[in-house]
Chains A and B, each alone.
Chain A
């Protein structure tokens, strides 16, 4: 009874976010103040959000904004490869919200009945080739990756690895195993190019954008590219469902969407 009440409250709150966001989307500052006012009873408590590594920048900002709007709330974010996070949640790690980089990983949680409610897509992302600044190996296409030198790809267990194999297969490109260094998640994959000696890698558009001048990007044609869909869900095991619901609503709402857009994500 109490729970359904808080859920209703959260829904009303999130509608409030949408309304305030729509009416004053060009006045970001007033919108934020408006939010604080509209959430007359800010949610409180503590939650842990397990978020895909590719969300590091965006979710850091979203968390800060969310906590500013809800001063009584403590949000801890656990970043990692979606695969690792799923394993952690399955083995009972205390998490309240899961935000992954692919639907397949989220489906594992829903198949095991670990979700409080069906997941929702909150962002999409595409992949891009990154090279050393100035693109010294002159990489122009996916096919060039096969012979350029050591290429950094995500391991098949991470969503970015699945997307990369899918893209390479679709393009009929085979990179020899001895030329592939596998990253645990997208951040380590990118780091092998920015800090290490990998000549190129395949990462999300958003990560390439976050790396700034440390990499050059080579676009993958839309026909060959993959679309990564990011699902978010509240977990059944949560002990603060009101706060978890409110956080999820915030990510789906205009404030969260604006941050994601600024980081290079596309709307669902």
Chain B
């Protein structure tokens, strides 16, 4: 038994190594193709800086919205049995399988000026106020598109944690007189915290790399909706060096965040 533990199974390690190479090789290729002599110059344009700023603002906002709406949704899906629960869960996961560009078209059909929700809403607002809502071509629209694709990652991760946690602790806390909110805050949340962090990181990473839904729904306006992936996509044609430099920044930022979070939060449990 001790020898088995000391010697890792070679076949498993070998397959794992293939998987690592599968991820590492494209990255190494990208690093090799980068034009390092012009790297700083490529990044130091106002368009690149704006894109990086927008990417951070939009992805963090999308993550915040994912937590705000995803937490109650995950709790409802995990704890309340209601008819059609499987259907609702399927609906939540839809953005995972929908091609993002199609997601963008779907968002347009609901939230564009002629969309299902915004059109009647604006008609109503026009009668009673002088407000007017427009999401397309705005930074809020980019956040909406990113939330659409990021939210499912948070919900599935947290829902799984809620389902597998030992509920007896919650019951004990309740019998000791804690109200529901206290139980959630003092017992449930600490128990599922690693999953909440993991879900947030997944949602954030997905939002950061979001392209299709954003360009389709929010458009591609410099300084307003042109996030890093959009800037990369356009730069790929005329200035591949700039595109690679921007991609490496995107990779670098996400790698730093994910690695540091893993060490601090995920492995502690």
Residues of A within 8 A of B (CB): 81, 83-84, 86-87, 150, 152, 155-158, 177-184, 188, 191-192, 195-198
Measured in the bound complex, the distance between the Cα atoms of B105 and A191 in whole Å is 10
Q: Residues of B contacting A179 with CB < 8 Å?
A: 221
Chain B residue at smallest Cβ distance from A183: B220
List 19 contacting pairs A-B, 8 Å CB cutoff, sorted by A. Answer: A81-B237, A84-B236, A87-B237, A87-B240, A150-B219, A150-B221, A157-B237, A177-B221, A177-B223, A178-B222, A181-B137, A181-B225, A182-B234, A188-B215, A192-B219, A195-B105, A195-B108, A197-B114, A198-B137
In this complex, how many residues of chain B approach chain A with their Cβ under 8 Å: the count is 26
A-B interface, 3 closest residue pairs, ranked by CB to CB distance from nearest: A181-B219, A83-B237, A157-B237
Q: Residues of B contacting A83 with CB < 8 Å?
A: 237-238
CB proximity of B78 to chain A, nearest CB, Å = 37
Chain B residue at smallest Cβ distance from A177: B222
CB proximity of A60 to chain B, nearest CB, Å = 20
CB pair A184 B233 closer than 8 Å? yes
CB proximity of A180 to chain B, nearest CB, Å = 6
- If over half of A's interface residues share one DSSP class (helix, strand or loop), that class is named, otherwise mixed; here it is mixed
CB pair A184 B112 closer than 8 Å? no
Measured in the bound complex, the distance between the Cα atoms of B231 and A156 in whole Å is 12
Measured in the bound complex, the distance between the Cα atoms of B220 and A177 in whole Å is 11
Residues of B within 8 A of A (CB): 105, 108, 112-114, 134, 136-137, 215-217, 219-226, 233-238, 240
CB pair B233 A197 closer than 8 Å? no
Q: Residues of B contacting A183 with CB < 8 Å?
A: 220
CB pair A158 B237 closer than 8 Å? yes
Measured in the bound complex, the distance between the Cα atoms of B234 and A84 in whole Å is 9
Measured in the bound complex, the distance between the Cα atoms of B41 and A75 in whole Å is 43
- A178-B223, A180-B221, A184-B215 known; A196-B136 Cβ under 8 A: yes
With A81-B237, A84-B236, A182-B221 known, 4 other A-B pairs at CB within 8 A are: A155-B237, A182-B222, A192-B219, A196-B217
CB pair B113 A197 closer than 8 Å? yes
Q: Residues of A contacting B112 with CB < 8 Å?
A: 195-197
Measured in the bound complex, the distance between the Cα atoms of B220 and A156 in whole Å is 13
Q: Residues of B contacting A157 with CB < 8 Å?
A: 234-235, 237-238
Q: Residues of B contacting A81 with CB < 8 Å?
A: 237
Measured in the bound complex, the distance between the Cα atoms of B239 and A83 in whole Å is 11
Chain B residue at smallest Cβ distance from A152: B219
CB proximity of A190 to chain B, nearest CB, Å = 13
Measured in the bound complex, the distance between the Cα atoms of B108 and A181 in whole Å is 15
Measured in the bound complex, the distance between the Cα atoms of B235 and A83 in whole Å is 10
Chain B residue at smallest Cβ distance from A86: B237
